[in-house]
Chains A and B, each alone.
Chain A
Amino acid sequence: TQLLEQSPQFLSIQEGENLTVYCNSSSVFSSLQWYRQEPGEGPVLLVTVVTGGEVKKLKRLTFQFGDARKDSSLHITAAQPGDTGLYLCAIGGYSTLTFGKGTMLLVSP
């Protein structure tokens, strides 16, 4: 069974700070998805990364896929209160996705 570990579990920062959260797997995976879940809602896809070493940018969010395809990171520049939420990574199997436990991010004004 592939395990996904996310760190840190919880992060509380002030508006304007930068942060990085991590997602690590016990084995190589073919692709990885990042989701954000806001309170009271379901997760929403942010990005899918498929190529080792790949970097994708989504406004102030930068996603990186490790060269060895066993890890990924999400960097947020100048965090805003609207970035508050649970960040989940997920890797695909044949028919289903396996999710990490998530990083809960709280950005205070």
Chain B
Amino acid sequence: NAGVTQTPKFRILKIGQSMTLQCTQDMNHNYMYWYRQDPGMGLKLIYYSVGAGITDKGEVPNGYNVSRSTTEDFPLRLELAAPSQTSVYFCASSLSGNSPLHFGNGTRLTVT
């Protein structure tokens, strides 16, 4: 039972570099989400998707981009990394908007 798989687990970037955080799920869920988690700040929604080909901004989308070409995959792109993007990033999926979320184990990103 793979569930939601995120890669890489850890990454260090220099300011201005770019990278893609990968997320894939094998539960055939339509809804997928990207959250960031900073100490003491809970989970903040970056982007979400309600199905293949559809994406929408969350609470903190600036500096990020996403695409959803398949039901399974929902990559998150950082184009010009900034220190403010140092965080732990979680991908999640669900059957519908109010359904429980299934989370990956996160990607810890440091931008220096």
Name which of B14-22, B41-49, B61-69, B70-78 contacts chain A.
B41-49
Beta-carbon contact of B106 and A41 below 8 Å: yes
Beta-carbon contact of A48 and B106 below 8 Å: no
Contacts A41-B106, A42-B106 known; A95 to B41 CB distance under 8 Å?
Answer: no
Q: How far, in angstroms, from A99 to B48 measured CA to CA in the complex?
A: 15
Q: How far, in angstroms, from A100 to B44 measured CA to CA in the complex?
A: 10
Number of chain B residues close to chain A: CB under 8 A: 24
Beta-carbon contact of A92 and B97 below 8 Å: yes
Binary contact readout A63-102 vs B (1 if CB under 8 angstroms, 0 otherwise): 0000000000000000000000000101011111101111
Quote the shortest CB–CB distance from A29 to chain B (angstroms).
10
How many A residues touch the partner, as a band? Answer: 20 to 34
Q: Which A positions have Cβ atoms within 8 angstroms of B?
A: 9, 30-31, 33, 35, 40-45, 48, 88, 90, 92-97, 99-102
Residues of B within 8 Å of A92, CB to CB, are 97-98
Beta-carbon contact of B97 and A42 below 8 Å: no
Beta-carbon contact of A100 and B42 below 8 Å: yes
Beta-carbon contact of A99 and B42 below 8 Å: yes
Q: How far, in angstroms, from A88 to B105 measured CA to CA in the complex?
A: 16
Quote the shortest CB–CB distance from A24 to chain B (angstroms).
14
Q: How far, in angstroms, from A71 to B58 measured CA to CA in the complex?
A: 24
Beta-carbon contact of B97 and A95 below 8 Å: yes
Instruction: Pull 16 A–B residue pairs with CB atoms less than 8 Å apart, ordered by A.
Output: A9-B40, A33-B101, A41-B106, A42-B106, A44-B103, A45-B101, A48-B100, A88-B43, A92-B97, A95-B48, A95-B56, A95-B97, A96-B33, A96-B58, A100-B42, A102-B42
